[in-house]
Chains A and B, each alone.
Chain A
Amino acid sequence: MSSFSADTPHSSSVMGRIFIYGILLIVAGYFLLPLLVMVFTSVKSMEEIRTGSLISIPTSITFDAWSKAWSSACTGVECSGLSGYFWNSVWLVTPTVSISTFLGALNGYVLTKWNFKGADVFFSMLLIGCFIPFQVILLPMARTLGFLGLAGTTTGLIMVHIIYGLAFTTLFFRNFYVSIPNELVRAAQIDGAGFFMIFWKIMLPLSIPIIVVSVIWQFTQIWNDFLFGVVFSAGESQPITVALNNLVNTSTGVKEYNVDMAAAIIAALPTLFVYVVAGKYFVRGLTAGAVKG
């Protein structure tokens, strides 16, 4: 049916090809347009925003909105821009991602290589923890944090993210370690290697790809989180998503759309960067986190 040697069926008439590329490009436009609008708007002056249109190319580029979003825009009562909150998120993400990934690796190792009675039941229990709507744990957690004196602190938020990230990281590592032959572990045991020795010397060196998947997954999840941030943090300790939302919805003074867009891009840059650099692992985490049981 065509001159191509097809391994997937495909249409090859010229009209058909034009039609296909046309649709694909239109859809690509739908996905790209908002990003374009964001970037364009962020480098325009408010004057130009009022006179021009959404997608008109900026006539003069100014980074005033960017510097305002970073250092002097109001996020509620406070008017010091997003910079502080950006670093909050960095400090939040660093320990949570590393601790939850490390614990996930240990859990996955125990669940697959040191099978004990009830391991499957435990794993199913943990899996349900991936799916519950977090609304159902918000209030008890708020009470607990209050009781521990951690309400509204970064430490409290770190604790929450580690606890509810564990289910996912354990899932990643368990599914990865299932495919590593048990003989490897048994052979090391015969050679006298103990529990941790096997983990450090055999399992971890094999785990680089899944570590990358887990780190990227946790990083995007926690960086982008809003629910935990808005409920469990307050004032100075808020993560960037909460600050961005406050900035955009602050109703004092004239609405500056260019500042809003610059702020949104600043909040999006770290995860976008990770996506561009390590897209393959990002997709793998999405599908593994969402589909596999």
Chain B
Amino acid sequence: MDTTTSSRAIPQKSLADHFEDWLPKLVISPTFLAAIFFVYGYIIWTAWLSLTKSRMLPKYDIEGFFQYGKLWTNDRWLVALTNLGIYGTLFIGICLGIGLLIAILLDQRIRAEGALRTIYLYPMALSFIVTGTAWKWILNPGLGLEKLVREMGFENFTFGWLTDSDMAIYTVVIAGVWQSAGFVIALFLSGLRGVDDSIIKAAQVDGASLPRIYWSIIIPSLRPVFFSTLMILGHIAIKSFDLIMALTGGGPGYATDVPATFMYTYTFTRNQIGFGSASAMVMLGGVLAIVIPYLYSELRKPR
């Protein structure tokens, strides 16, 4: 609908009508300006800083891409990237696995389905800080899970992942999956409910077994759900900050650093603004690489 056609119904345009024509644009302009300035302007600002030698205070003389070069020789950054790789892969993989399996089982006309769904999803309402705090206690090497299992009779059981620099990143996976898997279950379940029944009935009539129906008909038809879930989880993984801060604080040492905590540490506690900005730009690049193709395909879809 166009404002000009709608106001043509009124014979003569008064000043007030002109105002009415401009009103919608006027109303949306604060958001428009905010998006331009606070999103795009700030991205350019950060990009600019990443090309300078800024340390504690911003400097605006462009020196080139040397901060990016420094990133790739910085041990801590490489650890952060490796951690993101490990965490991202396991987090996404396990969430998708649990999500699909539980959604299929929940779709078997289960009594108390509603109650189970409520239980699976409630962690999603919590702050990652709460999740981190809870799991930090559960995984406590002295008094937590380890003690529980020992008291069950396994005297030599040890579970010190939280303070083991090689294993600590896996505790982040455990807590992250706990928080987000219910959401993936919900997404897959709504996907399953949308599958066309008639195709399934036809397959049943043809004598196809249940696992076969799932494997060759239902799961392939969930492709779009897989795609968008993958995108959402990838996005959550790259942005992960709170959970790591609360659960391990990036430690022991910097063993569980990820790009988000790396950026925070360098920019705000180590006062290396230029270097921190470069790491933020790399994060942006990573997110855009997965989001833009997704948005493009979503927006092109006929509505």
Contacts and interface: CB of A to CB of B under 8 A. Distances in A.
B273 A139 contact: yes
A136 interface: yes
Among A23, A127, A137: residue with most chain B CB under 10 A: A137
Interface stretch (A47-55, A70-78, A149-157, A203-211): A47-55
B119 A32 contact: yes
A111 B45 CA distance: 29
B283 A257 contact: no
Interface in A264-293: 264, 267-268, 271-272, 274-276, 279, 282-283, 286-287, 290-293
B167 to A, nearest CB: 19
Contacts of A6: 109, 204
A248 interface: yes
B187 A291 contact: yes
Given A8-B200, A137-B43, A23 B105 contact: yes
Q: Is the interface of B mostly helix, strand, loop or mixed?
A: helix
A9 to B, nearest CB: 5
A61 interface: no
Interface in B259-284: 259-260, 263-264, 267-268, 273, 276-277, 279-281, 283-284
Interface of A: 1, 4, 6-11, 20-21, 23-24, 27-28, 30-35, 37-38, 41, 49-50, 53-55, 103, 106-107, 110-111, 113-116, 120, 122, 124-129, 131-141, 143, 163-164, 166-167, 170, 178, 182, 185-186, 189-190, 194-196, 220, 223-227, 230-231, 241, 244-245, 248-249, 257, 260-261, 263-264, 267-268, 271-272, 274-276, 279, 282-283, 286-287, 290-293
Interface of B: 1-3, 6, 9, 20, 23-25, 27-28, 30-32, 34-35, 38-43, 45-46, 49, 58, 98, 101-102, 105-110, 116, 118-131, 133-138, 140, 143-145, 147-148, 151, 178, 182-183, 186-187, 190, 192-193, 197, 200, 204, 210, 213-214, 218, 228, 232, 235, 238-239, 241-242, 245-246, 249, 259-260, 263-264, 267-268, 273, 276-277, 279-281, 283-284, 286-288, 291-292, 294-295, 298-299, 301, 303
